[in-house]
Amino acid sequence: MQRTKIAHLLQREEPLADLLIKGWVRTRRDSKTFSFIELNDGSCLKNIQVIAAETLPNYAEDIRRITTGSAVAVRGDLVPSQGGGQRWEVKASQLVLVSLAPDTFPLQKKRHTDEFLRTIAHLRPRTNKYGAAFRLRSELSYAIHRFFRDRGFRYIHTPVITASDCEGAGELFRITTLDLKDVPRNQGKVDTSQDFFGREAYLTVSGQLSAEMFALALGDVYTFGPTFRAENSNTRRHAAEFWMVEPEMAFCDLAGNMALAQDMIQEIIRFVMKDCAEDLELFARFVDKTLMGTLENIASSDFVRLPYTQAIEIIKQAGQRFEYPVEWGTDLQTEHERFLTETHFHAPVIVYDYPRAIKPFYMRVNDDGRTVAAMDVLVPGIGEIVGGSQREERLEVLEARMAETGMRAEPYWWYLDSRRYASVEHSGFGLGFERLLMLTTGISNIRDVIPFPRTPGSIDF
Ligand code: 4AD
Ligand code: MG
């Protein structure tokens, strides 16, 4: 017999006879002649109430022993609930104790701190909050693919193993099959010609360079996959392994790029509000009371467009002390980003045209010569959620930029080729998927939206 999902049962309009459900017991309480079991199978936030009567043959032997966390299988009928609080309940005709959770099971019925739950990341999806967070993670992935497919974008799988440092920030995880106890050397240096690929190799920090090649063939493309950064910063918005969504569009300038970023964030937020309402309500009640207001505000109003030079002026005139002072030429810190979006504009802000000296080689140099056609989308509670740019399509300018940023051009021969052979205007951006999840749930630490987070010094699970 096929098992039915509890989510499916709870949506029914009609009763249902002789069904099978399986799940984990959240609580059990007994009356004289019945046990009431709250059962959850992970398919939705809500539990279903199971009524097990003392007339069941294993009532004394099994049912009265069932503990929180135990796994059970129930056959029975879906009937209108006699008690208040729920529409349906399941009257058990048979209840099998699949597996008893000992009373050392850490998730007893009480609230646990996020810090504690991080130490049991393998069990935390069995709680309401983390179950909801990871269902949302799945739904949001789907919404992203749907958003792009509706607009005719093609999904590209870009390599995880790469030889290039796209962002030029040197935050690369090296990969090697060399014997670290006996590394081959050549004139004192590690001889990487003897390594697996015959040269140095890394985990990718971004799929952008590959995505550009495909945009210049298929038009509008996107990647959505894991990326890696060996940033040794222990903040609540950085992880060493995270997922990035990277659209890339041929024949598109910076304004078109900004429009797509806004559309995407707004459509996804509308999707979550409509299609994930039950899970979202949990976050609005228990995690961030301002969540629904924030989401409605983001979904309904245009994002501010603000040149970097003006952003610096606004921050300097803020009349507020920041840990890091700003001047034209310095990068914005999270505190400045949050000031702009939360305090000054009360809306998402797209800062664009950043100084060329603080941005990677591939961004298009503006006519002023001082700035590049970069854009960052800043949102309340988080700061930067999207980073992108129009790409430098002029070969000579690109080569000069590589030299200026100290890059060797030779390994990028293939990238430069794309500028040699019918180069066209194109643009794209990267959206941090976990930051989008933080935005939509109000969860304030990136470690709590990743199933098994990787951060400096932490790789259990
Ligand atoms: O601004 P970033 O570094 O941009 C790029 O990597 C470009 N190559 C993207 C592109 O144009 N195709 O990163 C993009 C986004 C950031 O805005 C942020 O949301 C997220 O990726 N991000 C991180 N998320 C979690 N942990 C980290 N360590 C992150 N670093 C960046
Ligand atoms: Mg960035």
Q: Helix, strand or coil for residue 383?
A: strand
Q: How far is ligand 2, taken at its centre, from the CA of residue 58, in Å?
A: 60
Segment 94-120 mean pLDDT: 95
Residue owning the nearest CA to atom 31 of ligand 1: 432
Atom number in ligand 1 closest to CA 430: 9
CATH 3.30.930.10-classified regions of the chain: 124-169+205-448
Pairwise CA distance, residues 80 & 90, whole Å: 9
- Measured CA to CA, the distance from residue 294 to residue 290 in angstroms comes to 6
pLDDT, tens digit, 9 for 90 and up, residues 376-432: 999 999 999 999 999 999 999 999 999 999 999 999 999 999 999 999 999 999 999
The residue assigned the tokens 């939705």 is 44
How much is the average pLDDT of 51-74?
97
Task: List helix spans (H) across 276-333.
Answer: 277-286, 291-300, 308-316
Cα 26 from chain centroid?
28
> Mind listing the pLDDT tens digit for each residue in 168-189?
888 999 999 999 999 999 999 9
SS3 (DSSP) at 257: helix
pLDDT at 110: 84
- Joined together, the tokens standing for residue 73 give 């299988």
Mean pLDDT of 110-121: 95
pLDDT at 42: 98
Question: Residue of the nearest CA to atom 17 in ligand 1?
Answer: 386
pTM of the complete model beyond 0.95: yes
pLDDT band at 234 (very low <50, low <70, confident <90, very high): confident
pLDDT digits (tens, 9 = 90+) for 304-330: 999 999 999 999 999 889 999 999 999
Residues with CB under 6 A from ligand 1: 166-167, 206, 208, 229, 231, 238-239, 242, 244, 246, 384-388, 428-430, 432, 434-435, 446
> 72 C-alpha to center of ligand 2: Å?
48
User: What ligand 1 atom has the least distance to the C-alpha of 231?
Assistant: 28
CATH 2.40.50.140-classified regions of the chain: 6-99
> pLDDT per residue over 77-104, tens digit each?
999 998 888 899 999 999 999 999 999 9
**What spacing in Å lies between the alpha carbon of 99 and ligand 1's midpoint?**
43
CB 419 within 8 A of CB 251: no
Centroid of ligand 2 to alpha carbon of 432 (angstroms): 9
Whether the per-residue pLDDT at 214 is higher than 90: the answer is yes
Give the environment of ion ligand 2: residues with CB less than 5 A: 387
Question: 6-99, which class in CATH?
Answer: mainly beta
Q: Hey, whose CA ends up nearest to atom 1 of ligand 1?
A: 387
Cα dihedral across residues 271, 273, 277, 281: positive or negative: positive
CATH T-level topology, domain 124-169+205-448: BirA Bifunctional Protein; domain 2 (3.30.930)
Mean pLDDT of the chain: 96
Question: pLDDT, tens digit, for every residue of 129-181?
Answer: 999 999 999 999 999 999 999 999 999 999 999 998 888 888 999 999 999 99
